[in-house]
Amino acid sequence: MTPTAEMDGVLAVIDMQRVFAEPDSPWATPRYAQAAAGVLRLLPAFDSDRVVFTRFIAPAEPVGAWRPYYDEWPFALQPAHSRIWELTDEFAREDAHVIEAPTFGKWTPELAERVGPGGRLVLAGVSTDCCVLSTALAAADSGVYVTVVADACAGVDDVSHERALEVMRLYAPLITVVEADQLLKAGAQ
């Protein structure tokens, strides 16, 4: 897949929320600011109708394996309108298309419809080793071309971030991992 074709896809900005940005949050992502800077560089290259922001939200009532998960993270059992689930200020645009899901993976029917069968999906956001990875694998399995912008993502730590990128590289040519400069330069040609 050529980077120019990638620029014709949908940019999904995964979970750029306060719960991952704020240093005192139990789910703080240490390099959130760097990922946010990468996302901000990408946004102007995509028409607003081809940008989707996602928000992880807690379920009203956890079921199955989610019960012990939330036993470990009870602070997160807050309603969808709670401050922790808000997009951070730089991404809280009134015209933004937002998809909410109580799952790590954001390859929802709504996102799949926006991308279209055999379409192209560009991923950025947090965390590389959880929600980005889960979204990338599910989208690739459905036949979508996936591009992950490494420097517009951040993991729970640097080692986990790099490991997740390595796992996604194993899925080539279904998943391509690039840097923002690579994508933007190719798109400008």
121-150, pLDDT tens digit by residue?
999 999 999 999 999 999 999 999 999 999
Mean predicted lDDT score pLDDT of the chain: 94
Q: C-alpha dihedral over 178, 129, 157, 45, to 10 degrees? A: 40
Query: What H or E segment, with its residue span, contains residue 55?
Result: strand 51-56
pLDDT at 186: 77
Q: How many CB atoms lie within 10 A of CB 2?
A: 11
pLDDT digits (tens, 9 = 90+) for 32-64: 999 999 999 999 999 999 999 999 999 999 999
Half-sphere exposure of 158 (CA within 13 A, CB side): 1
> Are 70 and 62 a contacting pair, CB within 8 Å?
yes
In the chain, the domains with their CATH numbers are 3-188 (3.40.50.850)
Mean predicted confidence (pLDDT) in 68-94: 95
Please state, in angstroms and rounded to a whole number, the distance separating the CA atoms of residues 181 and 187.
10
Mean predicted confidence (pLDDT) in 108-113 = 97
